[in-house]
Structure 1
Amino acid sequence: LEQGRGQCQCRNMCMRGCPYGGYFSSVTSTLPWAQKTGNLTVRPFSVVHSVIYDEASGKASGVKVIDTNTREEMIFRAKVIFLNASALNSTLILLNSRSERFPNGLGNDHDVLGRYVGFHLYRGWANGRMPGFEDQYIYGKNPAECIIANYRNLKEQDTDFVGGYTIFSGGYRTRQEELPGSDVQIGADYKKAISRMGSWYMYMYMQGETIMKPENRVTLSETETDQWGIPLLVTDVGYDENDEKMIRDFLQESRAMLETIGCVDIHTEDNKQAPGLDIHEMGGARMGNDPQTSMLNAHNQLHACPNVFVTDGACMASTGNQSPSILYMALTARAANFAVDQIKNGNL
């Protein structure tokens, strides 16, 4: 309540960040709080073109921004710069930040920038019809899904693949006219059909870990730009045999679980969708101790340009199978505290 947030309104707007503040998002929590301090200036309708590198000081001096309404180019100066544009966009900005010192992108001395891109694997789905519960409907229920934490390869290697997967599950009820054979589309029979509910169904889908590899990478297009004149990002990212084995395991496990709880008419599917059609892209400017194989140090600073921090998904060195957003927040808070200490000590 202190933040001006309300409880869940059951409006099915969760995927939009919940404008009511029923669950946490930066739009309804941290950004309004930051604005209350008077120390935050929000500059909408702005596209960051690149980070400006100062050859004399060996540090970044600001960012070049394009106003999307006027197309005016502006430069904002700063002592410290945090990139949080999302994994691929932060990587794009760094790749586009070229200078005499860094002709291949800011901090990119060893061709690491843009490599080791990972993501979460969502290709496996399953559902089944759940008999009964015909006197109940979805309204008034908790809108959240159920989560089954990963149980594969925890204490020892117990499968033929590396890593594991989280399972998300939930239930829904169909409308009668959506059932096979319900082809009445007009008249009194149609009114009766839409007033009767169909069966309950349980669904499950996987969120699997993918292994980051240097071959999975993004680069800047040499021939195409967007409407702001910024090179398009070219992705060269694919699945491997480890991913295929993990998907097959999930399909077997999910079918067994649905059978155990009493579902019938069970259907499992590998949708074979391309990488990038879901969420949680990671990597591209990964953390590590060795500047030859990583872009950032343990404090999320660029090895070669210490007043630039990257604390979104681009910094990740592995994907895990858990949802990563809270981890990004923790990394950002830790890096911000470190940056403040370094400024006070005269190191930045």
Structure 2
Amino acid sequence: MNLNIKAEKENTYDAIVVGSGISGGWAAKELCEKGLKTLVLERGRNVEHIKDYTTAMKAPWEFAHHLEHTNKMREDHPIQSRCYAFDEATQQFWVNDRENPYNEIKPFNWLRGYHVGGRSLMWGRQVYRWSDLDFTANAKDGHGVDWPIRYKDIAPWYEYVERYIGVSGQAEGLPQLPDGVFMPAMEMNCLEKHVAQRIKEQYKDRILTIGRAAHVTKEHNGRGPCQYRSLCARGCPFTGYFSSNGVTLPAAAKTGNLTLRPDSIVLEVLYDKDKSKATGVRVMDAHTLQTVEYYANIIFLNASTLGTSWIMLNSVSDRFPNGFGNDSGQLGHNLMDHHFGVGASGEYEGFEDQYYNSGRRPNGIYIPRFRNVNEQTKRSDYVRGFGYQGGAGRGRGTSWEGIGVQLKEAQTQPGKWSMGIGSWGEHLPYYENKVSLNHNKKDRYGLPTLDIDCEFRENELAMRKDMMASAVEMLEAAGLKNVHGYDDMPPPGHCIHEMGTARMGRDPKTSVLNEFNQVHAAKNVFVTDGACMTSSSCVNPSITYMALTARACDHAVSELKKGNI
């Protein structure tokens, strides 16, 4: 008995954070800085900032296959290799699909990385605030349930996060895309500026601006500035962009309150029905397969949307026979992703005497949402809206005449200017889009796999027609030639913005979490990754996860001090 008591004491912390990615890193930083001894559990291997970015400084010719996909890479990564950021230099940050199976009831690309830092090493780094257009949408059009918060509740936390991570961008004064605290914006090139001016002249309801990116454009707290290498998915040795490894986890470690444990697969949340609270988590060592329990007063689940869903669904007890906190029956449901892969591109005749001096700018342009913003822009064929990302540039010369020096010189000449814009659209929260555990199909650890049943529906399909048509229209209005639209229609998951499955809400009967991301039925458990989302908006979601996490941590520590959790 004494040995058991000793072991329990040694495995007891003030707080446990499951996951070390974008939201988990923020939870670690906030809880540690508030004085809590915090254990961070990561199911994947350790990745140390700079040291383990082994390909970051390599040139293309230093790779055996010059960054191309090999048959072996496709065999091990049939899903991950579909991602734009996957290549010979980044494959170590993406899971082996054969070793990490899941079941596609309908096509779904689950793109993920199991390592310290998670997808904060490979993310797209676009950061846009939500507005009340997003937070009130469910209540107004009847899809899903009403968000329990509004923009005013999260606005101070957006600012808190922006000041810390560094966001470059341009203020535009749009109510549907609130401005933030920005570092100097990255510069648009001459064609992007031209198209921006033409759109401003042609349309009263839309603008083109530079993307808002989590890249520091000047030195910031010992970081950066961004070197415009656009090799971000390899890990940034300059800490030019925000990642858990480079920013929040070092801040947590600096306090002396952080314990980081990689190779730790969280199996379930432990619950004490007499105390009506969670007591800790059960963990499997990824190498030895031995299990151990850790205990804490506060638990943050930040294992990514589907990872957190798996843990909660696997946490069954007499109190929660259908998954942890699942009194509403909503756990695992309302899965969303943005739908994209639709837009247009064209060529521009002109600016032959100009090029661009921004190197390989790791950022593009942005055209904010302009549909269903007000009565004047309301559509009859679909609800919600979309925005565009893209950019302009010059390819190399297209002449293949001559041989030797003549051919090489021809290829060094820049080609025509061209520009493309692609759209990101909102996905409605449908109850039928869901994940569930498959106990008949096990993974290599003997654990149940995840069934994913998700699709885009009539609203998204109607929106896509407008997404392509509007892209063609704007580029033609800007004077581009040979404009063509496209719609590749990738399946859900491919945008890597999966969210929902443990939604926030006002009513415990229809939601899993309350306004502070607490599980309704277990107030000392918080979910602040994508699983908490009640709707999807049409903008990249990561900064919203960060702001919600910082806000929830502040509330958690306050409630802990009051003795309420």
- For residue 331 of structure 2, the aligned residue among 98, 105, 113 is 113
Partner of 1:175: 396
- For residue 246 of structure 1, the aligned residue among 463, 468, 474 is 463
- SS of the residue corresponding to residue 80 of structure 1 reads strand
- SS of the residue corresponding to residue 298 of structure 1 reads coil
Deviations 1:66-89 (A, max 9, x none): 222333322211111001111111
Cα pair 2:302 2:308 within 8 Å, conserved? yes
Structure with a larger share of its residues in strand: 1
Cα pair 2:343 2:472 within 8 Å, conserved? no
- SS of the residue corresponding to residue 24 of structure 1 reads coil
Deviations 1:202-232 (A, max 9, x none): 1101111111010111111131122223221
Partner of 2:510: 293
Matches within 5 A, 1:72-221: 72-138=290-356, 140-141=358-359, 142-156=361-375, 158-159=378-379, 160-177=381-398, 187=404, 190-221=407-438
- Give runs of ≥4 in structure 1 deviating > 6 Å: 182-186
**Structure 1 CA distance for aligned equivalents of residues 223 and 504 of structure 2:** 35
- SS of the residue corresponding to residue 121 of structure 1 reads coil
**Does the C-alpha gap of structure 1 residues 183 and 74 become closer, same or farther in structure 2, counting only changes over 3 Å?**
farther
Cα pair 1:145 1:169 within 8 Å, conserved? yes
**Does the C-alpha gap of structure 1 residues 186 and 99 become closer, same or farther in structure 2, counting only changes over 3 Å?**
farther
Partner of 2:25: none
Matches within 5 A, 1:31-42: 31-42=249-260
- The one-letter code of the counterpart of 2:531 is A
Partner of 2:449: 232
**Structure 2 CA distance for aligned equivalents of residues 282 and 22 of structure 1:** 27
- For residue 305 of structure 1, the aligned residue among 522, 539, 554 is 522
**Does the C-alpha gap of structure 1 residues 251 and 291 become closer, same or farther in structure 2, counting only changes over 3 Å?**
same
**Structure 1 CA distance for aligned equivalents of residues 291 and 416 of structure 2:** 57
| TM-score, reference length from structure 2 | 0.58
- For residue 280 of structure 1, the aligned residue among 488, 497, 501 is 497
Matches within 5 A, 1:62-73: 62-73=280-291
Structure with a larger share of its residues in helix: 2
**2:333 pairs with 1:333:** no
CA displacement at 1:172 relative to structure 2: 2.7
Partner of 1:46: 264
**Structure 2 CA distance for aligned equivalents of residues 319 and 248 of structure 1:** 20
**Structure 2 CA distance for aligned equivalents of residues 81 and 37 of structure 1:** 19
- The one-letter code of the counterpart of 1:82 is F
Deviations 1:217-266 (A, max 9, x none): 11111311222232211111111111011111111111111112221111
- SS of the residue corresponding to residue 62 of structure 1 reads strand
- SS of the residue corresponding to residue 61 of structure 1 reads strand
- For residue 30 of structure 1, the aligned residue among 232, 248, 255 is 248
- The one-letter code of the counterpart of 2:387 is T
Which consecutive unaligned segments of at least 5 residues does structure 1 have?
Answer: none
* RMSD of aligned Cα (Å): 2.1
- SS of the residue corresponding to residue 245 of structure 2 reads coil
- SS of the residue corresponding to residue 283 of structure 2 reads strand
Which consecutive unaligned segments of at least 5 residues does structure 2 have?
Answer: 1-218
Q: Decide which moves more: 201-210 or 134-143.
A: 134-143
- SS of the residue corresponding to residue 108 of structure 1 reads coil
Cα pair 1:3 1:29 within 8 Å, conserved? no
CA displacement at 1:129 relative to structure 2: 1.2
Cα pair 2:400 2:411 within 8 Å, conserved? no
**Structure 1 CA distance for aligned equivalents of residues 344 and 373 of structure 2:** 24
**Does the C-alpha gap of structure 1 residues 92 and 133 become closer, same or farther in structure 2, counting only changes over 3 Å?**
same
Partner of 1:270: 487
| TM-score, reference length from structure 1 | 0.92
**Does the C-alpha gap of structure 1 residues 76 and 325 become closer, same or farther in structure 2, counting only changes over 3 Å?**
same
Deviations 1:45-69 (A, max 9, x none): 2222221222332221111222223
Deviations 1:8-39 (A, max 9, x none): 11211234564422233333222211111111
**Does the C-alpha gap of structure 1 residues 134 and 42 become closer, same or farther in structure 2, counting only changes over 3 Å?**
farther
